[in-house]
Amino acid sequence: MSILLRALAGRIVISRDRDMRIVLSWVGPGDIRSIHGHPVFHRWWRAKPGAESVDRQDTANMWKLVAIEGAWGFHAALVAGATVLTVLLRGYGAGPKMIGSIASIEGGLIVLPQVLGIYVFKSRRQWKKHMVAWHLVCIVPFLFLNGFIIAFAGEDVSAFARWGLLLSFACMMAGIGTVIAVWMEWMASLFGTRIRGTVLGIAWFISALCGAAAGFLSGRLIDHFPGKPTYAVLYLAAGIAATISCLMIMTVRDKNAGEMPNRVGFGTRFLISRFRQSLVSANFRSFLIGRILATFGFCIVPFLAVHFLSDAGGSLSKGTVVSCGAAMTVGMAVANLVLGRLGDLRGHRIGILVSAAMQVVALTIVLLSSGIWSCISVYLCVGVCMSGGFLSHTNMLFETCPHDHRLAHITVGNLVLSVPMLGAPLLAGAVVGGWSTTTLFAVCLVISVIALLWLAAFVKEPRHLDLGATIGSGE
């Protein structure tokens, strides 16, 4: 843990001694320049010769972003919707349709409200302050609310608890959805194209690593203290971790804020024209079609917990399933680091293909095996898939923008994906209710194979295409 904390503070230097053995060196508190100046670190940090230079501010911002994402990842995995919330709602008597709605809410409400963010966060110079305020008022309080709902409802099967928790979860996801496009654009403006994937990969690697620890911790707590008060404690702890993450955003220095106009106009006609420009691109349309197919093929994540709790999946205990779910964040951690770096060097299309391929592997494993090792393997593959589906997907959105308004491009791309994100999990719940989880997994495997073939055949690396325009600020 001390090594992790020092790494988050930016004070670990990786080098080699005279015998070429790897050495971890401790640098004095606050001496960010010593890290950046180290030749081994500098060679690793630069994407390739001729890439944009990396100054002290880039390095400092990277480590701050690592700390922010680490705390956020810890909170998210401590009460993960795919495991903890699923198990909790089942304990309160939720059926397949309600379980399916978890993924629908998580996917759809993170995407649909993004267009509102364009109007809510109008002052580019104040984005950082306004994003922190939004998190503290419109997102974090729902974590504490869930804790109070559980404490009030107690151990009994309760419709109030089921619907209260689901509604609170939906409000929190809508709050995240409103700010997430602005957050992504803000992060993109901090770092250039040739280092952005590496930075985000490192940040989300630490986020997933902290998430793995949180997932394992929550699973052990649920096993040792199986009562509902344990879930209340988890939500309260998650709220504290999320608050710390939000407050750390204020420490990031936004080098572009002073150069931006104080007010950015977003007229409806202007946005529609930019949406049309984005959708005119044949490669972007092919990318969206492939991602839609992949989304329909991978609407099964909440039902994995249901499957492994059942006889068909090996009748694992609730705590075991939650702990095995930590493998998902381990897969995300490793994939974030590898795919982020690989994307900077070779392009992020490869991450999209890896994501679709691991989706096929995960569904194959769950159909052919059961038990604890099957559960771990499936969640590990799911983690890799989710990494590519978020990290590589996000960078593909950044790099496929054909005009001067990247925020509008990000928004329209995610809005198009909102339909399957909302509908697919609900359809999945209906399939499970009418047939079984095995039937759902078989159908999704076929769709996933089609998605992989489509992405491989029709989506081109955007860096090899002439987009015909500069891509937003920060490039």
CB-based contacts of 426, cutoff 8 Å, min separation 6: 97, 100, 101, 104
What number of CA atoms fall less than 13 Å from residue 277's CA on the CB side? Answer: 21
What pLDDT score does 148 carry? 93
- Decide the pairing of beta strands 12-16 and 22-26: antiparallel
Instruction: Report the CATH number at residue 173.
Output: 1.20.1250.20
CA–CA separation, 190 vs 192, rounded Å?
A: 7
In terms of Cα–Cα distance, which of 45, 12, 10 is closest to 30?
10
Residue 243 sits in the same domain as residue 333: yes
Give the pLDDT confidence of 193-219 residue by residue, as tens digits: 667 777 877 887 888 788 888 888 988
Give the structural domain span for 34: 2-45
CA–CA separation, 441 vs 431, rounded Å?
A: 10
* Domain membership flag for residue 81: yes
CA 368, 374, 375, 380 torsion-angle sign? negative
Q: What is the pLDDT along the chain (475 residues), one digit of tens a residue?
A: 444 444 444 444 444 444 444 344 444 444 433 334 444 334 444 444 444 455 677 788 888 999 999 999 999 989 987 788 988 888 888 888 888 888 788 877 877 787 788 778 877 778 889 999 999 999 999 999 999 999 988 777 778 889 999 999 999 999 998 998 788 878 877 877 667 777 877 887 888 788 888 888 988 898 888 888 899 999 999 999 999 999 999 998 877 665 555 555 556 777 777 788 788 888 889 999 999 999 888 888 888 988 998 898 898 988 888 888 888 888 888 888 888 888 888 888 999 999 999 999 999 999 999 999 999 999 999 999 988 888 888 888 888 877 777 777 877 887 888 778 778 888 888 888 888 889 999 999 999 999 999 999 999 888 777 655 434 333 3
How large is the angle between the packed helices 268-280 and 406-434, nearest 10 degrees?
Answer: 70
CA–CA separation, 147 vs 46, rounded Å?
A: 44
Instruction: Report DSSP letters for 311-350, one per residue.
Output: GGGT---HHHHHHHTHHHHHHHHHHHHHHHHHHHHH-THH
CA–CA separation, 347 vs 48, rounded Å?
A: 13
- Residue 84 corresponds to which tokens in the numbers above? 């903890």
Residue 12 sits in the same domain as residue 143: no
Residue 25 sits in the same domain as residue 82: no
Residue 16 sits in the same domain as residue 65: no
Q: What is the dihedral of CA 144, 148, 154, 155, to 10 degrees?
A: -10
* Domain membership flag for residue 475: no
Residue 116 sits in the same domain as residue 15: no
CA–CA separation, 376 vs 382, rounded Å?
A: 10
Residue 151 sits in the same domain as residue 238: yes
Residue 182 sits in the same domain as residue 272: yes
- The total domain count for the chain is 2
CA–CA separation, 106 vs 101, rounded Å?
A: 8
* Domain membership flag for residue 50: no
CA 146, 163, 437, 352 torsion-angle sign? negative
CA–CA separation, 151 vs 46, rounded Å?
A: 50
CA–CA separation, 470 vs 28, rounded Å?
A: 41
pTM, whole model, 2 decimals?
Answer: 0.67
